[in-house]
Structures are given as structure tokens and as C-alpha cells.
Amino acid sequence: MRQEMLSVFTFDELAPEVQEKVLEKHRHWHTEFGDWDQFVIEDWQTRLDEIGFEDAEIYYRGFWSQGDGACFESKHFDFEKLIAQLDEKKYRHLLKVIDYLSGTIQKNSYGHHYTHESTRYVSLEFNNYRTTPRLEKLVNALEEELDDLSRNLSKQIYTSLESEYEYQTSDECLKEMFHCNEMEFFEDGTVFDTFSL
């Protein structure tokens, strides 16, 4: 029977140049193999619901390329919540006929290749035959303001996702993963795996 001794090291025990090599090799560990974005998306879906964009579906593509960004779609609006985000005084007459309002956020016809704030738009409908020019003007103004609001929120969603991505690919996060999983390495930085022995 032949016995061999293997020398294994914690990440902190590796030479600095080997640590750099290990970090680069595992840089995208979390972002390629995990649902790293899920809690950001769920958090934003909750926030959008609280604002008044109900059952929102969030889409994004990132990061650092042309056309990257985030956007969301919603088929159900809570107009009371949405108007509370804007100027309630301005839209007080609309609040009286709110049951006749419906709205959606949907994809632009030219935005099928991209996923950013300008690829979706707000569309409102006033379903009452007794509409007046004043009400039509208010509906149009509200549609424009909600469109701006949805674009600003989409930019914030993208910023949140980008920040989380940067954290998940950071040295700090990787070192924490190595430590929590009690990972060991050979001197050259190869992961020591008892199952492959």
C-alpha cells in the first residue's frame, strides 16, 4: 500500500499571486450558478406593488453593454396609490371616476431587442362614455407622469441589480464564500476536493 501526503491550504494561506488567480477563476461563481438576483427582483416587485404597479414582471439585461437596463410590465394599476405618488390635488377629479380607469405597462414595438427603461410604455384608458375634454386632458397628463415614474423606477431597479452583481463578484464576497464553505486549495490554487481523490 502506498501513502501520499497532500498539502492543502485555506485561501488566506495561499501566496498573494495565487489568491489573485483563485479570485479571478471564481469571479462569477454566484452570478453564473445561483439565483443571486432573485431577492432584488422580489424586493422590487413588493415595492412596485406598494406604489401601485401590481403584479409587476421585471426584466433586465446587464451589465455594461449598449441596450442593457431594466424595465417592468404591469397589467393592474392601483390608481389611488399611484396618484398618491404624484399630485393628488391635480388629479382629484379623476379619483371620483377611478373605476372607469384602466392601465398597463407594455413593450414598445421597437424595443424587442433591448431591455431598458425606454422599451416599455404606460397606456391608460378611460372607459366611460361621459368623458369630457377636461377628464381626457387629466388622463393624458396622468399617463405621461406615470410613464416618467415607471422609467425612473426602472433605472432604480437596474441600479439595485448592478450593485448586487458588483457585490456578488467582489473579492469580499468570494473570500466570504471560501471561508463559509471551508474551502481548501492546493498550492497552485486548485480547489481541494475529497470526492475526486
Render pLDDT for 47-96 as a digit per residue (tens, 0 to 9).
999 999 999 999 998 787 777 899 999 999 999 999 998 988 898 888 88
Tens digits of residue pLDDT in 135-158: 889 999 999 999 999 999 999 999
Average pLDDT, the chain: 88
Burial of 189 (0-12, 13-18, 19+ CB in 10 A): buried
